[in-house]
């Protein structure tokens, strides 16, 4: 039997808990600023992607592509998009070629909201005293972690083994 390193089950030693707690803290910190825009954090994340895509006019954004970009299923996205549509920030339109495909676009109000949201990240980081270089390094490290976990989960068996 090979030696397996001792793994602590203490909560503070769990990376998953630190990520969860940090995510919640960041979401809470954004809340007062997003309240001023009339958005929840999940709605803000959707808008970030739509603003990004708005700068690439050749791209025809769809709900499916948005789900892939945000790693969310349509059951989670649909209520978010309905609410953004009610707020007159987003337009949804079924494809004439394929009714299952729903195209997304920003309304004029959705485009204008981008200007109000422009400084949120910087304001949050400056208000919290976070070093921008450290934040960038952390983001890059999390990108690597996410890629490795995605690779691991995509190579994992998806069903029962054969006979």
pLDDT in tens, 65-103: 999 999 999 899 999 999 999 999 999 999 888 888 999
Cα–Cα distances (Å) from 84 to 6, 34, 60, 117, 147, in that order, read 48, 14, 18, 15, 30
User: Which pLDDT belongs to residue 28?
Assistant: 94
Lookup: tokens for 148: 């490795």
Smallest CA-to-CA distance from 76 within 87, 86, 64 is with 64
Q: What domains lie within the chain, and their CATH numbers?
A: 14-137 (1.10.10.10)
What are the residue ranges in the chain where pLDDT is below 70? 1-4, 156-163
User: Which pLDDT belongs to residue 83?
Assistant: 97
User: Which pLDDT belongs to residue 4?
Assistant: 63
Q: How far apart are CA 142 and CA 139, in angstroms?
A: 5
DSSP 20-49: HHHHHHHHHHHHHHHHHHT--HHHHHHHHH
């Amino acid at each position: 039997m090979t030696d397996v390193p001792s793994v602590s089950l203490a909560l503070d030693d769990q990376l998953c808990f630190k990520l969860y707690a940090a995510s919640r803290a960041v979401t809470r910190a954004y809340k007062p600023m997003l309240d001023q825009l009339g958005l929840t954090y999940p709605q803000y994340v959707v808008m970030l992607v739509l603003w990004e895509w708005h700068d690439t006019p050749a791209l025809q954004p769809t709900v499916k592509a948005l789900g892939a970009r945000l790693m969310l299923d349509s059951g989670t996205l649909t209520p978010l998009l309905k609410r953004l549509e009610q707020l007159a920030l987003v337009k949804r339109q079924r494809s004439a070629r394929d009714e299952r495909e729903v195209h997304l676009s920003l309304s004029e109000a959705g485009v204008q909201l981008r200007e109000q949201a422009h400084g949120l990240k910087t304001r949050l980081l400056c208000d919290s005293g976070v070093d921008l270089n450290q934040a960038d390094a952390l983001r890059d490290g999390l990108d690597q972690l996410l890629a490795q976990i995605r690779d691991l989960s995509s190579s994992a068996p998806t069903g029962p083994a054969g006979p």
